[in-house]
Amino acid sequence: MEEVKLLGFWASPFSDRVIWVLKLKGVNYEYVEEDPYNKTQLLLQRNPVHKKVPVLIHGGKSIAESSIILEYIEETWPQNPLLPQDAYQRAMARFWIKFGEEKMATICAVFRTAGAEQEKAIEEATELLKIMEEKGLGDKKFFGGDAIGLVDIAFGWLACLYEVVEKVSAVKVLDADTFPQLHAWIQNLKVVPVIKENLPDHQKMVGHLKRRRETHLALPNCHN
Amino acid sequence: MSKQELLLLDCGVSPFCGRVKIALAEKGVEYESKEENVLGGKSELLLSSNPVYKKVPVLLHNGKPLCESSIIVQYIDEAWPSPPLLPTSPYERAQARFWGDFIEKKVFDGGSKIWKSKGEEIEVAKKDFIETLKQLEGTLGDKDFFGGENFGFVDILLIPLTTWFYSYEKFGDFKVEEECPKFSTWVKRCKQRENVVKALPEPEMVYEVVLMLRKMHGVE
């Protein structure tokens, strides 16, 4: 069996999602911690285009970009399938994964802003979360249906990381009253063993995000 | 399969619609299409089929809507497997998706910066854009197409975007052929394919649209 190595960063939700899928598939891998503020030669060689984690190295070949890594794992290790069999349902899953990627920065903009700008960020995040809840999740237990799938994994940051983002930013966006279905989904996702057992240390994450927020707010223009 | 089972909500100058039209043509699949007035007034069908983004293309297959052009192309490849647009091995598929993702992130928005900018910003936008094309040239290498010998997924995602290059060249005062000759050769190779030529608008027509967009964006 060919060697699997994951270059990741403990605080990165993009790394987390790869770990969850590898574990759900029962794939053995070696984890290599990268410091995004002090990148190794290995990372720069393995992802010369974007120079970012996560990177999956399988049998010496590199795959970059987390959503692409997830599909690669799904195709290479088909046990415990995380994408639907039906082509239309698969297209819908890809649609929501892409939506999550594109809108994550906007949903998390509350973290990089303060005052009036943050108020606006809360409004925009609320709008996007409404779309996800109404059009993506609906009445389902998970985005994947009765069991978790790649969309749930791709949105895992919303279930686990976002409450830390809210705490550090002193806001509440994703509350149970406004988002009853999303709130229920979060509670269901958090108890899935692979996810529960593979989350970054809470206190460490709070400290890390506090420092990152201070850095953002100290920039001359408070937006990225 | 009757034509009514496939309906494409289309816009002639949209390179994203171009991708879907090329993919369907490669598969020899017949379909109906409906031109949308994306600037003037979007149809109820478009708004209800793509409530999240409200954009073309939308492909309705037996009434079920599919949105986002790269996802639609993958769907077409899976629903009509022959001839394949994506490679068979998971690693090569991942590479194709990687470059598809790179193209999504860099090409259209990068080019738009050129016609949306004023003064010194144009030069910066132009340099970044040429750098993007050089990276694509690098991955193309000596191959005929991005996937190798056969026209496929990455080529389909990229070639329609090149109909907007004439406009970028006019506003940026440069020629893609001079800056990136290998890229230009690949464009010409793709344009020898009937399915590509039939699906794409004339660059001059796109230019007229860009002029209009510039006015709308207050660049003129």
- For residue B168, name the pLDDT band (cuts at 50, 70, 90): very high
pLDDT beneath 70: ranges in chain A = 221-224
Residues in A touching B157 (Cβ below 8 Å): none
- Residue type for B60, please? L
- Asked if B135's CB is within 8 angstroms of A49's CB, the reply is yes
Q: Best residue in A92, A96, A135 to probe B by mutation, most B CBs within 10 Å?
A: A92
pLDDT in tens, B37-79: 988 899 999 999 999 999 999 999 999 999 999 999 999 999 9
- HSE, side-chain direction, 13 A CA sphere, residue B45: 18
Question: What is the rounded CA–CA span in Å between residue A117 and residue B136?
Answer: 37
Mean pLDDT rounded to a whole number for chain B: 96
ipTM: 0.95
pLDDT at B2 over 60: no
Question: Is-contact B153 B147, C-beta < 8 A?
Answer: yes
Is residue B1 predicted with pLDDT exceeding 50? no
Q: Cβ of A69 under 8 Å from any chain B Cβ? A: yes
- Is A94 near chain B, with CB under 8 Å? yes
Q: Judge: B68–A131 Cβ closer than 8 Å, yes or no.
A: no
Q: Tens digits of per-residue pLDDT, B98-154?
A: 999 999 999 999 999 999 999 999 999 999 999 999 999 999 999 999 999 999 999
- For residue A216, the tally of other CB atoms under 10 A from its CB is 15
Nearest neighbour of A87 by CB, restricted to B52, B79, B135: B79
- What pLDDT does A224 receive? 45
At A217, the amino acid letter reads L
Q: Which of B169, B52, B62, B180 is nearest to B122 (CA)?
A: B169
Q: Give the per-residue pLDDT at B220.
A: 72
Task: Tell me what the mean pLDDT of segment B82-88 comes to.
Answer: 97
Asked if the model's pLDDT at residue B35 lies above 70, the reply is yes
Look at residues B142, B149, B169, B155 and name the one whose alpha carbon lies nearest to residue B200.
B155
Position B122 scores a pLDDT of 97
Q: Residue B4: which pLDDT band, with cuts at 50, 70 and 90?
A: low
DSSP B41: B
A67 neighbourhood in chain B, CB within 8 Å = 101
Residues in A touching B90 (Cβ below 8 Å) = 72, 75-76
Three-state SS at A5: strand
Distance separating alpha carbons of residues B86 and B104, to the nearest angstrom: 17
Q: Which helix (H) or strand (E) holds B44?
A: helix B44-49
Q: What is the DSSP string of A47-61?
A: -TTT--S-EEEETTE
> Is A63 within 8 Å of B94 when comparing Cβ atoms?
yes
